[in-house]
Amino acid sequence: MRNKMDDSRLMEKLRQSEDPWVERKESFNEREVRKTLVAFANSVPEGEPAVLFIGAANIGEVAR
């Protein structure tokens, strides 16, 4: 069974520090996003969610 993320869990992940399955990018950079997605695909255990926040600073706030 796959773990699902609802809005409250996503917001919790956004406020927490990055971990192996949570990554933040302040802006969209195709190369960096691609690298992150490939890393997730190669390392996230089956059924576990990984999250890439685009437009979020490393401290869990929206980038300006």
What's the predicted TM-score (pTM) here? 0.81
Position 5 in a domain: no
Q: What is the DSSP string of 9-62?
A: HHHHHHHSPPBTTEEEESS--HHHHHHHHHHHHHHSPTT---EEEESB-TTSSB
pLDDT tens by residue, 10-58 = 999 998 888 999 999 999 999 999 999 999 999 999 989 999 999 998 7
Position 17 in a domain: no
Question: In terms of residue numbers, what domain contains 30?
Answer: 22-64
Position 45 in a domain: yes
Position 44 in a domain: yes
